[in-house]
């Protein structure tokens, strides 16, 4: 892999970059995390925007940062770069470690917020819909590109930034990041609240259906059915997203929670759950209606 470009020694340049890494401080690694979060956000935003023919601000945060890519940048710098003399280890560890990061991120966010933020179920060779072959290959390519192509010029440019300028930039970014993260968590908690409410409604409808099919209709009060029907009316696909609006930061005017605009999987999941609940309610109502379709 040496001297692929005339006058450019890949091994020599990579060795220099590894030496520069050894000189970095903790603050430099933190700033590197934010830099690669921004680079990852830009790449994914372009990729998703082109695919949907409209601008999509990707990421959990509102600002131009995708922390999962920043985490990847740190892993490249702290771990994978150590194996630069063996390209196959760079490829292997890039695939294994970054797949693990993506899988754990998906798992933890689902547990914390009761929602799945991305889903690769329809992709070839996926694992629980959290990682898939296509993205695994992306991680492998990214690892090779970073260590042997990007790392050296990036670190050389980074070394030109005065230390005081790095501290100032890091301080400003940290303040903005904390504010943005707090807002994102608040939005995500709204999502969690909605998904929990919807899950509870489906559970009660399922229990009601079980009681109806297992006993006589007299064992179930039609008022319970009416109450559940009213709750479901507030969660129908055309209306449910108005529950999650940001009034605090929009001058009192409702603004749709960006999580539902950015993460289409959340929208599909919510709409699917609402549709399933409507089917359950329809089956239940048939036990309480007369030939004219009126409730008893």
Contact at 8 Å (CB) between 88 and 80? no
> Are 148 and 208 part of one and the same domain?
no
CB burial readout 102-117, b (16+ within 10 A) else e: beebbeebeeebbbbb
> Are 200 and 243 part of one and the same domain?
yes
How far is the C-alpha of 191 from the C-alpha of 27, rounded, in Å? 34
How far is the C-alpha of 281 from the C-alpha of 232, rounded, in Å? 9
> Are 196 and 154 part of one and the same domain?
no
Q: Residue 179 has what pLDDT?
A: 92
The sign of the CA dihedral 12, 14, 18, 23 is positive
Q: Residue 9 has what pLDDT?
A: 55
Q: Residue 238 has what pLDDT?
A: 46
> Are 216 and 147 part of one and the same domain?
no
- Residue 5 resides in a domain: no
What 3-state class would DSSP assign to 146? Answer: helix
CB burial readout 159-182, b (16+ within 10 A) else e: eeeeeeebeeebeebeeebeebbe
Q: Residue 201 has what pLDDT?
A: 80
> Are 69 and 135 part of one and the same domain?
yes
Q: Residue 165 has what pLDDT?
A: 94
> Are 110 and 155 part of one and the same domain?
yes
Nearest in space to 187 (alpha carbons), one of 234, 243, 270: 243
Phi-psi region of 98 (alpha: psi -120 to 50; beta: other; left: phi over 0): alpha
Q: Going by C-beta distance under 8 Å and a sequence separation of 6 or more, which residues neighbour residue 83?
A: 89, 90, 93
- Residue 292 resides in a domain: no
Contact at 8 Å (CB) between 104 and 72? no
Count of domains observed in the chain = 2
Q: Residue 150 has what pLDDT?
A: 86
Q: Residue 235 has what pLDDT?
A: 61
Show the tokens assigned to 7. 């006058």
Q: Residue 100 has what pLDDT?
A: 93
Length of the chain measured in residues: 296
Q: Residue 236 has what pLDDT?
A: 55
- Residue 295 resides in a domain: no
pLDDT along the chain (296 residues), means of 10: 46 72 87 92 86 78 88 87 86 92 89 80 91 92 88 87 92 93 83 78 80 61 72 58 50 61 72 78 71 47
Show the tokens assigned to 242. 């108005």
Nearest in space to 120 (alpha carbons), one of 129, 109, 112, 107: 129
Find the DSSP H helices in the chain. 10-22, 26-52, 67-78, 87-113, 133-145, 151-159, 163-214, 222-233, 258-262, 264-285
Q: Which residues span the domain enclosing 57?
A: 10-160
Phi, psi angle pair for 107, to nearest 5°: -65, -50
- Residue 222 resides in a domain: yes
């Amino acid at each position: 892999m040496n001297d692929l470009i005339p006058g450019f020694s890949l091994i020599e340049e990579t060795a220099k970059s590894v030496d520069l890494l050894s000189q970095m401080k903790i603050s430099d690694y933190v700033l590197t995390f934010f830099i690669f979060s921004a680079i990852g956000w830009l790449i994914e935003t372009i990729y998703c925007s082109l695919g949907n023919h409209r601008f999509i601000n990707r990421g959990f945060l509102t600002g131009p940062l995708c922390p999962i890519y920043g985490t990847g940048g740190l892993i490249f710098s702290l771990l994978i770069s150590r194996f630069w003399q063996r390209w196959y280890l760079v490829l292997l560890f890039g695939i294994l470690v970054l797949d693990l990061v993506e899988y754990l991120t998906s798992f933890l966010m689902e547990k914390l917020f009761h929602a799945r933020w991305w889903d690769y179920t329809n992709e070839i060779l996926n694992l629980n819909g959290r990682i898939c072959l296509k993205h695994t290959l992306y991680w492998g390519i990214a690892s090779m590109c970073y260590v042997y192509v990007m790392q050296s010029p990036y670190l050389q440019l980074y070394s030109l930034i005065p230390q005081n300028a790095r501290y100032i930039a890091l301080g400003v970014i940290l303040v903005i990041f904390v504010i943005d993260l707090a807002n994102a968590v608040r939005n995500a908690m709204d999502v969690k609240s909605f998904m929990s409410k919807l899950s509870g409604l489906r559970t009660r409808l399922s229990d009601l259906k079980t009681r109806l099919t297992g006993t006589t209709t007299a064992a179930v009060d039609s008022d319970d059915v009416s109450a559940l029907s009213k709750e479901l009316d507030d969660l129908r696909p055309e209306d449910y997203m108005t529950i999650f609006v940001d009034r605090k930061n929009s001058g009192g005017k409702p603004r749709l929670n960006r999580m539902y605009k950015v993460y289409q999987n959340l929208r599909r999941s919510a709409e699917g759950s609402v549709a399933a609940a409507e089917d359950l309610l329809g089956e239940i109502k048939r036990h309480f209606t007369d030939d004219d379709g009126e409730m008893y």
